[in-house]
Structure 1
Amino acid sequence: MIAVSIQGSTPEQVRAVAQRLFADNFPRLSQSAQETVTSRASDLAEAFIEKAIDRGVSLSAAADPDVQYLLLASQRDYARSGNDSLKKLLVDLLVERSSAHEDLEKIVLGEAIETARKLTSKQISALTICWLLRSTTPTSVQTFDDFIDYAQVNYQPFCSNLPVNNSEYAHIQYTGSTIPGMGNSLGYLLSNQVPGLFQRGFPVNAIPEPLWQEPVRQELFSVNLYDSTLWQVDAPDEPKAREKLAKVGLSNLEQQYVGLLNSYRHSDEEVEKRLIDSGAFWADLIHVWQSTNLSSLTASSVGTAIAHSNWVAVTGGLSPLSTWITENKH
């Protein structure tokens, strides 16, 4: 039994609140069914307490009426399904909600908890990969191999069992987890996120002379990844390219330098071939992306919260939801 107190609320107090909420509000079933749902509700409450303590989140949030309502909703949904993946996702969302401060984030997380039960594990995986590919950027990568390693950690876990029937994607949209978007190819999305990893290269005479002066050219350019007779911008994306220019004092040449980064990219088809040739899960993902409506969906705010919590639960990712769900303050 956990026997610690966090900022005024003990696990025992939260446990008692959860038990009372469930007992008072869940319909009475036959004896065997009642034992099952009661056990499941208790398991979810215990998982919530442990996860909150592990993340340093105050259990005093359990006194909030909205948090109590959402705790009951989570117990209800897990008690009905017994789906362990759903339990983990609901617990993660509950912990996020317990630590949220902004009104918008609280509302979005509440809606996400109410929506999660409407999605299958496959659909949640599809929602997660959709959000990752459209709304996140692999900022830590410098080389193509870095990107492949990043993708193995962040993309691969969600690609093994994606829906292949468009009715499943229509249902995701029905729940409000996604909104219609542009049907971009996967090659297009990735080459826009990290154009520096998919450069076909350019000759020296394409480089403006002020950028090719010693010693700055050693900071700004490198031999092309795919053709050693050509050069490329030594930066994975536009923000990093701007940082490089600022470092050498040539920010006034940003348009020319970033122009080289964007003008000499591989085609979308070449990007996808390069990914498929690297092996792993890419061929299957690209096939599903091309043959279903996955390519035309964009995560809504609620879908973002669900996808983010699923990503955190599976990969241990550390970026907070507030990176994507924010309120503008003046």
Structure 2
Amino acid sequence: MTQCEQSQAVKNGGTALQAGGDIHLQQGLSYQDVRQVAQDLFDANFFRLSVVAREEAASRAEYITEKFLRKLSEENPNGFSKANDPGFQSALYTVQREHAKAGDEDLGDLLVDLLVDRSKQDQRDLIQLVLDESLATAPKLTNGQLSVLAITFALKYTVDNRVVSEESLGDYLDRYIIPFGDSLAVSESSFAHLDFAGCGSTSVLVDISIEGILINTYPALFSKGVTSEEILSAGFSTVDGRIFSECLNDISRFQVSVIRDSEVELVLSKRGVDAGDVDLAKAIYSRNMMSEEEVARKIMKLRPAMGDISRKWSDSGMKSLSLTSVGKAIGHANVKRLVGEFGALSIWIS
């Protein structure tokens, strides 16, 4: 076997790197070191184009690299050391290549978030594998499909503990749901493609409306309350202020003052309520809940934009969509792209 001849020209302050294989640097890498390896990585691997197209591709790659480095320096400065890792170099090149081809700002931001998360993984574990696959998969999806993954992830797989009132529910919808509503891709072929891409699958066994999800996740917000007579007839000796508060939807009534029924025992026990009354509170908690139709009217009044989103959800595969680990990672990154920090991915993938 003959050895290929290679020559290199290195600018002042540059680093000579071997093209055509993994690029290795010394430890203690600076921002500029990683920026240089990223540039050389792209130059060594991206296919040759016409002069104009090559300049545009190089400009896009430089732009997305700079955006990634800035975000990395903010979120995970220790991640600069990952430039020595062949697997990370491959992930970095994927981001450069896909943004160079598409030039889509939203996709670029999403890929940057995925890559920053990738930099936080110190070993070849499930999360790292999922993120690598997500980086390769996200560019194969339309903005509408990315929006489907974002809303599905936020509604079906997360709980926001700040949602404790009608006002905070409105803020939640403004932040995590409504921004994605206009672009939703809800055709049958769109869901078939999400299945093909390994992001999720639909099944009538998991059909649920947005209203049903909100009732299950934040039930206290949709209670119609109980009267003092109903409380006493349920076995309580009094309307205990440790257990009951004014109903959020009817000030003439009361409700158990815990946001979720699954937390009743823990919360009331911490308040010093005896076990017998805790059991009574669990039994009365879900009495007189709003129907899904009543919740829909409440949500429409609160945020009219939710009407169209709810219809698209109910009339499409969104209501029956279950996400894979890749679908969750992309949905997580797409939400994070808009709102900033959104909890570690390991919460949902471990």
Determine which of 103, 106, 113 is the counterpart of 1:92.
113
Is this contact kept in 1: 2:71–2:116, CA < 8 A? yes
Q: Answer whether contact 1:57 1:99 (CA < 8 A) is retained.
A: no
2:271 match: 248
Query: 1:209 offset after TM fit, Å?
Result: 7.3
Out of 176, 197, 206, which is 1:175 matched to? 197
Distance 2:232 2:56 in 1: 71
- Tell me, yes or no, if structure 1 residue 57 matches structure 2 residue 77: yes
Instruction: Give the whole-Å Cα distance in 1 for the aligned partners of 2:154 and 2:272.
Output: 34
Instruction: Report what 1:141 is aligned to.
Output: 163
Alignment partner of 2:182 out of 160, 169, 190 = 160
| Structure 2, unaligned runs of 5 or more | 1-26
Matched residue type, 1:44:
I
What residue number does 1:23 align with? Answer: 43
Q: Is the contact made by 1:220 and 1:244 (CA closer than 8 Å) also made in structure 2?
A: no
- The residue matched to 1:160 in structure 2 has which SS? helix
Aligned-pair CA distance for 1:240: 4.1
* Code of the aligned partner of 1:25: N
Are 1:208 and 1:256, in contact at CA under 8 Å, matched by a contact in 2?
A: no
| Alignment-derived partner of residue 148 in structure 2 | 126
CA contact (8 A) 2:225 2:287 kept: no
Q: Distance in 2 between matches of 1:211 and 1:50?
A: 60
Which residue pairs with 2:210 in the alignment? 186
Deviation at 1:184, TM superposition (A): 0.7
2:308 to 277, 284, 290: 284
Aligned-partner SS, 1:298: strand
Distance verdict in 2 for CA 1:242–1:119, change over 3 Å:
same
Corresponding position of 1:42:
62
Q: Distance in 1 between matches of 2:327 and 2:111?
A: 13
Distance change >3 Å, CA 144–CA 240, structure 1 → 2: farther
* SS, match of residue 110 in structure 1: helix
Offset of residue 156 of structure 1: 1.8
Asked if 2 retains the 8 angstrom alpha-carbon contact of 1:219 and 1:244, the reply is no
Q: Which amino acid aligns with 1:43?
A: Y
Residue 302 of structure 1: how far off its partner (Å): 0.7
Measured on the aligned residues, the alpha-carbon RMSD in Å equals: 2.0
Q: 1 CA distance for matches of 2:56 and 2:272?
A: 67
Q: CA deviation at 1:285?
A: 1.0
- What residue number does 2:294 align with? 270
**Paired residues of 1:233 and 1:261 also in contact (CA < 8 A):** yes
Partner of 1:249, secondary structure, is coil
Shift of 1:120: 1.1
Contact 2:223–2:290 (8 Å) recurs in 1: yes
Residues 200, 321 of structure 2: 8 Å contact kept: yes
- Cross-structure match for 1:3: none
> What is the alpha-carbon distance in structure 1 between the residues aligned to residue 87 and residue 132 of structure 2?
8
TM superposition shift of 1:239: 4.4
Find 2:88's aligned residue among 67, 90, 96.
67
Distance 2:166 2:135 in 1: 37
Q: Which has the larger radius of gyration?
A: 2
Distance 1:61 1:203, change over 3 A: same
